[in-house]
Amino acid sequence: MDAERSASLSDRIKAWLQYPLPQHGISRVIHRLTRIGSPAFKDRAIRDFVRRFGVDMSEAAEPDPTAYPTFNAFFTRSLRAGVRPIAMETDAVASPVDGAVSQLGAVEDGRIFQAKGQGFSALELLGSDTESAALFRDGSFATLYLSPKDYHRIHMPVSGTLRKMLHVPGRLFSVNPPTTRAVPRLFARNERVACLFDTDAGPMALVMVGAMNVASIETVWAGEITPPQRRSVCVWNYKAGEFRLGKGAEAGRFNMGSTVILLFAKDRIRWEADYGPGSVVRMGRRLATKL
């Protein structure tokens, strides 16, 4: 499949062109532009985006593109009730997002597979937090890519209680398949927000990875985490029971799209056999089974 190919010369050129770019500066400009409320600007931008990427507005709670006050409000649009039923079986782990599987499988000796010839460690991904990384050393991971046309809110795969959140500063490379194949340790280099939960499937990490033009990541309990841009890892610890979210509840959103990485501990879940690199996922559908 496409996600399993080695990086081609074309992939490497596309990646190399991103290194010298002022990635955060570009993203901050996009942050401002996507919040312009002028109808002449935002209506045209939304219509062009819908047409270019084939966005299915019939699924949106508000199907009229001109009804959104800003482009960002359109991009983070809610869905109609019932469009994404949640797999509520007690043994079901639901997909947290709409998108496609980049990779999924086992965390092998603390390492996570990115693409052929590429990988990174759970310790790197979680901002060198050794206590958190140890929970997932031989566990399971899934990397889920959200394309521009996808729904960009992130939901809980299982019920859980938030115990820690980390903001890890970094670069903002694109996370599309060509860049994923070409940039070493991509998801451990990009800016990200990692949320650690205690769940009925054991410890779970929900990692929201930023990317080029992803000017903001936010959560329902803390609001907008990025911007501002920070120079070092920032950690928030939460009291037991302070924030508990049910399966299918909204946990956060990308203001412009990116990638979510899920981590579970060893022998706690089994990914459904139907899923592999390139498989389409829909928020709420069964992605894995609790063991």
Q: Is the link from the previous residue into 177 a cis peptide, with omega within 30 of 0?
A: no
Strands 140-145 and 269-271: unpaired
User: Is 95 marked active-site?
Assistant: no
Query: SS3 for 50?
Result: helix
Residue 145 to residues 7, 218, 233, 290, Cα–Cα distance (Å)? 17, 17, 24, 23
CA angle, 181 as apex, 99 and 179 as ends, to 5°?
70
DSSP 65: G
Residue 90 to residues 86, 93, 289, Cα–Cα distance (Å)? 11, 9, 9
Choosing from 155, 167, 174, 216, the catalytic residue is: 155
Give the Cα separation of 63 and 54 in Å (integer).
Answer: 14
User: Is 155 marked active-site?
Assistant: yes
Asked if residues 173 and 179 have their Cβ atoms less than 8 Å apart, the reply is yes
Residue 54 to residues 41, 182, 241, Cα–Cα distance (Å)? 20, 27, 41
Q: Residue 44 has which token pair?
A: 């045209």
Alpha helices (runs of H) in 154-252, residue ranges in sequence order: 177-182, 186-189
User: Is 167 marked active-site?
Assistant: no
Choosing from 98, 102, 150, 167, the catalytic residue is: 98
Choosing from 95, 140, 174, 258, the catalytic residue is: 258
Q: Residue 182 has which token pair?
A: 């070409």
Q: Which residues are catalytic?
A: 98, 155, 258
